[in-house]
Structure 1
Amino acid sequence: MHTESKDEMRDKILEAALRRFTHYGASKTTMNEIADDLRCSKASLYYYFPDKKAMHMAVLEKIAEAYFQEMEKEADNVNSATEALIRIVDIRKQFISKFCRLEIFMLLKDASDLMLQEKKKGMEREIALHVKIIKAGIASGEFNVKNPEQIAELLVQACAGLRFSVPDHIREDMDLDDEMFELVMEKQKQLLEVFINGIKA
């Protein structure tokens, strides 16, 4: 008979949490409900995660890895750098739309040291894949850029800034609603169009 390893049980907990968070929202989900879904005790959950916030973070790390892998696949297979940059925005939109109930926006406003470190790592990874796409555009003669690292950093930071500047009336306890989300994504596409026009050969 197969005995579950710690990693397998942890993955099962994260999958159950992801299903609950995606359907009902992270803030409305309790540890008891996740334990009931898994037919285990709440104490079993606390063996792997000290609290719900830690579990929430672990869920986000899991889906963020899938998100970055999808974007990196795009960066590794560039036919048109312009189209690749546009597809990155589409991947971002699909990801946020699919996982909107995970309260990603609220968590991004968390100023704890751990969250700041995670945001920095994510930003660096996103910049690196943009550098790769821009360099592919330079190699193909599509873009005329002297410093791809600088341009990639500027583009990623500008897009990230829009997530916070557009919903200027949002409260600390609010997440992006559908209307604000669509507005942010539309402005990211407009910004990208300006960038692409500015670096075309």
Structure 2
Amino acid sequence: MHTEAKDEMRDKILEAALKRFTHYGASKTTMNEIADDLHCSKASLYYYFPDKKAMHLAVLERIAESYFQQMEKEAAQVKSASKALYNIIDLRKDFISKFCRLEIFQILQDNSALFLEEKKKAKQREFNIHTEIIKAGIVSGEFKVKDPAQTAELLVLATMGLRFSVPDHIREDMDMDEEMMDQVIEKQKQLLDIFIKGIKA
């Protein structure tokens, strides 16, 4: 099979998996159902992915790339750094709302070496995006910050921490429902209010 055709088939599989996962949930979707949607054999799926978990991770990588591109676009066209930081939270909310059935937070508990490396890269990418926004705020005179990278890292880590500490009854391996997510987003915005006041020029 030519590389182009292989890539096209892989894309079709991921699109079908994303559609199923988004509608029914990843854990409730079977490889047979995805194969049926594509009118192909289950063996065809296993040619591209060793198991459903690998397919799930590939789907998450695809949507994560889109999410990061949206954030990077926000960081590249900053008019108000404060507004850009709030917009990042709104992007996060939209992303989680759209893909809440993908069991994102459950899969984040995967501690395999490969996945830990991917999580590390994703976290660094988020640090970099926030650093660029804070730098833009320094250039415009909006923020007064000595170390933008360190400040960005602190903001991202504090914001991420709220995901685990706000809901009273959620475990690390659970996904959030809409009510829990709204609570977390509200606290993230409150934290950002305080944070921005602290770095205003």
TM range (shorter): over 0.9
Task: Indicate the residue corresponding to 1:76 in structure 2.
Answer: 76
Structure 2 distance, partners of 1:182, 1:162, is 12
Task: Indicate the residue corresponding to 1:31 in structure 2.
Answer: 31
Q: Which runs of 5+ in 2 are unaligned?
A: none
Structure 1 distance, partners of 2:173, 2:145, is 41
Deviation at 1:4, TM superposition (A): 6.3
Q: Spell out, residue by residue over 1:24-75, the C-alpha distance to the aligned partner (whole angstroms, 9 max, x if none).
A: 0000000000000000000000000000000000000000000000000000
Q: Which moved more, 1:109-118 or 1:12-21?
A: 109-118
Deviation at 1:193, TM superposition (A): 0.9
Residues 66 and 49 of structure 1: CA distance in aligned 2, closer, same or farther (over 3 Å): same
Residue 105 of structure 2 contacts residue 173 of structure 2 at CA under 8 Å; is this kept in 1?
no
Structure 2 distance, partners of 1:47, 1:176, is 33
Task: Indicate the residue corresponding to 1:153 in structure 2.
Answer: 153
Q: Which runs of 5+ in 1 are unaligned?
A: none
Task: Provide the secondary structure at the position in 1 that maps to 2:50.
Answer: coil
Residues 163 and 172 of structure 1: CA distance in aligned 2, closer, same or farther (over 3 Å): closer
Taking structure 2 as the reference length, what is the TM-score of the superposition?
Answer: 0.95
Task: Indicate the residue corresponding to 1:21 in structure 2.
Answer: 21
Task: Indicate the residue corresponding to 2:115 in structure 1.
Answer: 115
Task: Indicate the residue corresponding to 2:53 in structure 1.
Answer: 53
Structure 1 distance, partners of 2:172, 2:137, is 40
1:94-105 correspondence to structure 2 within 5 Å: 94-105=94-105
Taking structure 1 as the reference length, what is the TM-score of the superposition?
Answer: 0.95
Residue 105 of structure 2 contacts residue 172 of structure 2 at CA under 8 Å; is this kept in 1?
no
Structure 2 distance, partners of 1:106, 1:82, is 31
Deviation at 1:160, TM superposition (A): 1.0
Deviation at 1:105, TM superposition (A): 1.2
1:120-135 correspondence to structure 2 within 5 Å: 120-135=120-135
Task: Indicate the residue corresponding to 1:143 in structure 2.
Answer: 143
Structure 2 distance, partners of 1:40, 1:130, is 43
Deviation at 1:102, TM superposition (A): 0.3
RMSD (Å), alpha carbons:
1.5
Structure 1 distance, partners of 2:155, 2:134, is 11
Q: Which moved more, 1:86-95 or 1:177-186?
A: 177-186
Task: Indicate the residue corresponding to 1:40 in structure 2.
Answer: 40
Percent identity of equivalent pairs: 75
Task: Provide the secondary structure at the position in 2 that maps to 1:159.
Answer: helix
Task: Provide the secondary structure at the position in 2 that maps to 1:195.
Answer: helix
Residues 135 and 49 of structure 1: CA distance in aligned 2, closer, same or farther (over 3 Å): same
Which amino acid in structure 2 is aligned with residue 102 of structure 1? Answer: L
Task: Provide the secondary structure at the position in 1 that maps to 2:114.
Answer: helix
Task: Indicate the residue corresponding to 2:89 in structure 1.
Answer: 89
Structure 1 distance, partners of 2:19, 2:126, is 26
Residue 127 of structure 2 contacts residue 156 of structure 2 at CA under 8 Å; is this kept in 1?
yes
Structure 1 distance, partners of 2:126, 2:146, is 20
Task: Provide the secondary structure at the position in 2 that maps to 1:5.
Answer: helix
Aligned positions, number: 200
